């Protein structure tokens, strides 16, 4: 079945947020030896690859997305030897390892930035984006930070501003200077030589900014919530020259055997698809975040899936995401009753699925008491903290019912609070319950991985005539599966006899039904999803 396909096409990607997976040394923060101890569990989820959020040395102003050294491991997470051991174990279990690469910006403590800011004449001055103040002494233009406030900070010593679209401690590199790209390619090479299988590339669509640093226009349709979206980001995002940078990164990967990169890109289809590259010489996968951003309604989701399928360039491989460390938990967004339907959708659509740790348990956003709020956008903007804060989806993994949920030793204070329901919602309890969310998730991933129709088959939407239902077939050779998802609580009877006489239940969200169903009078109960073999 894997014959002509790459691992990153047929496998499921599982994202681990290292701070929150498993603490092994009693400091309340997850680490690499901790992840290593839990690999058997990861493998039991039938996933093909693990993506680790950043593990590099960092002052942690943005929890590791402010990198102070691209070629080492933060002592909090372990050592390079721990990393090598982890990589070897991941490979020994038949999985791949993807690292988070954060090329757009460094930490302000990175030696490159220390040099750059030391004087206007420093050879690395131009490695970052420095500009004189505006005539009134203010920032050079109107650009803003995703995390609140202006995108510019004045360096008193040299009298110029530097650009940062995230926290002030994340100065942005200047990829219009070829030396910067050469340096970053060198950092990537370090990990490729070590054997990592790929990179998830952070904010790849922001890597080049307008050469003239023009002001961005105000968006007349701004909803008034997040000040960063008051402007239309036409000069800080998706600049044409970014594709040259990405092609160089891809060319490096192509020097090695079967490595990949997946790019973090929040853009609409038309622009998003350009990141495959005109000759498929850019990212292997441009992250497709539509299931996160769209309202959870059957017809809306059907339309966006159909549109995405239609917009994909011929030969472009699709991908789908339900959650990550920047987005509220899927079970919270869609509601607990829909959590299984959402996973069934993710894991039966055509294209590589990315799963966020804990979603397989049905973990929800964890309310963070004000004194524990740590995430910079929430700290900087308390009025909208409940919308932009990311702590709630980054809480410790729930392994068992013991104090600290097995994430850290009893008595240790975890870096973020545990969910209140961890004694019921955890790996140990759910593994012992054949009808749990975890058991459902494992059955679903096992089904996906054993079915050519689901991993590589064609997709076609099916009309049901019912507003709340989204149905489709996945077909490969003789194998044909029908997926019917009920996005609401009401029961419906539908007639799908055009597809055949009957279908055999392969999996349902309720984990109870087996046998054959007549397609002429198919009952779909509230919040149910079913996969039938036709």
Pair of tokens at residue 113: 């930035």
CB 173 to ligand GLC: min, Å = 12
| 166 in Cβ contact with 122 (< 8 Å) | no
Handedness of CA 111, 116, 119, 123 (dihedral sign): positive
Please pick, from the candidates 172, 202, 359, 393, the single residue that binds ligand GLC as defined by CB under 6 A.
202
- Identity of the residue, 36 or 390, whose beta carbon is nearer to ligand GLC in the bound complex: 390
Interface segment toward Ca ion; rule CB under 5 A; list 20-28, 177-185, 212-220, 273-281? 20-28
Residue of the chain from 29, 95, 97, 102 that contacts ligand GLC (CB under 6 A): 102
Say whether residue 166 binds ligand GLC (CB under 6 A): yes
Cα–Cα nearest to 465, from 298, 343, 305: 298
Q: Which of 13, 188, 196, 203 is the binder for ligand GLC (CB under 6 A)?
A: 203
Which helix H or strand E contains 118, and what residues bound it?
Answer: helix 111-118
Measured in residues, the chain has a length of: 534
Binding to Ca ion in span 21-50, by CB under 5 A: 23, 25, 27, 29, 31
For tokens 């990990």, name the residue: 191
Closer by beta carbon to Ca ion, 59 or else 500:
59
- What is the rounded CA–CA span in Å between residue 402 and residue 428? 10
Strand pairing category for 492-494 and 522-524: antiparallel
Assess 238 for contact with ligand GLC (CB under 6 A). no
Selected from 325, 333, 340, 448, the binder of ligand GLC by CB under 6 A is 325
Q: Considering the rule CB under 6 A, would residue 425 count as an interface residue with ligand GLC?
A: no
The answer to whether residue 205 forms part of the interface with ligand GLC (CB under 6 A) is no
Q: Which secondary structure element, helix H or strand E, spans residue 480, and what is its range?
A: strand 479-486
Is residue 356 within the footprint of ligand GLC (CB under 6 A)? Answer: no
Distance (Å, whole) CA 437 – CA 160: 54
What is the per-residue DSSP string for 282-339?
S-SEE---HHHHS-S-HHHHHHHHHHHHHHSPTTPPPEEES--TTS--HHHHH-GGGH
27 binds, among ligand GLC, Ca ion, none (CB under 5 to 8 A by kind): Ca ion
Binders of Ca ion: how many residues, by CB under 5 A?
A: 5
Catalytic positions: 202, 255
Q: Any contact of residue 292 with ligand GLC (CB under 6 A)?
A: no
Nearest to Ca ion by Cβ — which residue? Answer: 31
> In terms of CB distance, is 18 or 171 closer to Ca ion?
18
Classify residue 174 as exposed, middle or buried by CB count within 10 Å of its CB (0-12, 13-18, 19+). buried
The residue ranges that bind ligand GLC (CB under 6 A) are 62, 65, 102, 166, 202-203, 264, 325-326
**Which residues lie near Ca ion (CB under 5 A)?**
23, 25, 27, 29, 31
């Amino acid at each position: 079945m894997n014959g002509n396909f790459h691992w990153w096409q047929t496998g499921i990607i599982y994202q681990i947020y290292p701070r929150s997976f498993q603490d092994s040394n009693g400091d309340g923060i997850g680490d690499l030896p901790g992840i290593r101890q839990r690999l058997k569990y990861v493998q039991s989820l039938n996933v093909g690859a693990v993506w680790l959020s950043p593990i590099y040395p960092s002052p942690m102003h943005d929890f590791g997305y402010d990198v102070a050294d691209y070629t080492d491991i933060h002592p909090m997470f372990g050592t390079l030897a721990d990393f090598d051991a982890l990589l070897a174990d991941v490979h020994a279990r038949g999985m791949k390892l993807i690292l988070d690469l954060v090329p757009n910006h460094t930490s302000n403590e990175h030696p490159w930035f220390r040099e750059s800011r030391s004087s206007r004449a420093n050879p690395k001055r131009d490695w970052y984006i420095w500009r004189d103040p505006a005539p009134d002494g203010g920032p050079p233009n109107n650009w803003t930070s995703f995390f609140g406030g202006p995108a510019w900070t004045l360096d008193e010593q040299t009298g110029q501003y530097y650009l940062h679209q995230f926290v002030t401690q994340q100065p942005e590199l200047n990829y219009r200077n070829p030396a910067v790209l050469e340096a970053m390619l060198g950092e990537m090479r370090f990990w490729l030589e070590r054997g990592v299988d790929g990179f998830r590339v952070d904010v790849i669509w922001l890597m080049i900014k307008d050469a003239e640093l023009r002001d961005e226009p105000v968006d007349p349709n701004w909803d008034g919530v997040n000040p960063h979206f008051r402007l239309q980001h036409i000069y800080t995002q998706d600049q044409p020259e970014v594709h040259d940078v990405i092609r160089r990164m891809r060319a490096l990967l192509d020097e090695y055997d079967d490595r990949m990169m997946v790019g973090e890109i929040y853009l609409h289809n038309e622009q998003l698809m350009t990141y495959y590259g005109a000759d498929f010489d850019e990212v292997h996968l441009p992250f497709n975040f539509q299931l996160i951003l769209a309202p959870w309604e059957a017809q809306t989701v059907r339309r966006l899936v159909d549109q995405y399928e239609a917009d994909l360039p011929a030969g472009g491989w699709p991908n789908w995401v339900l959650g990550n460390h920047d987005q509220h938990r899927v079970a919270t967004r869609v509601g607990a009753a829909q959590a299984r339907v959402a996973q069934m959708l993710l894991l039966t659509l055509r294209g590589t699925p990315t799963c966020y740790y804990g979603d397989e348990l049905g973990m929800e956003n964890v309310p963070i008491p004000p004194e524990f709020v740590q995430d910079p956008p929430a700290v900087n903007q308390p009025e909208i903290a409940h919308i932009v804060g990311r702590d709630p989806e980054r809480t410790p993994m729930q392994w068992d019912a013991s104090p600290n949920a097995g994430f850290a030793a009893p008595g240790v204070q975890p870096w973020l609070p545990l969910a209140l329901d961890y004694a019921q919602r955890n790996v140990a309890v759910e593994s012992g319950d054949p009808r749990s969310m975890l058991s459902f998730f494992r059955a679903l991933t096992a089904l996906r991985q054993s079915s050519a129709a689901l991993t590589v088959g064609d997709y076609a939407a099916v009309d049901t005539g019912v507003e709340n239902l989204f149905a489709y077939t996945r077909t490969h050779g003789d194998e044909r599966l029908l997926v019917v998802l009920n996005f609401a609580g009401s029961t419906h009877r539908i007639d799908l006899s055009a597809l055949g006489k009957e279908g055999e239940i392969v999996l349902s969200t309720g984990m109870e039904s087996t046998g054959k169903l007549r397609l002429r009078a198919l009952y779909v109960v509230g919040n149910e999803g079913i996969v039938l073999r036709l």
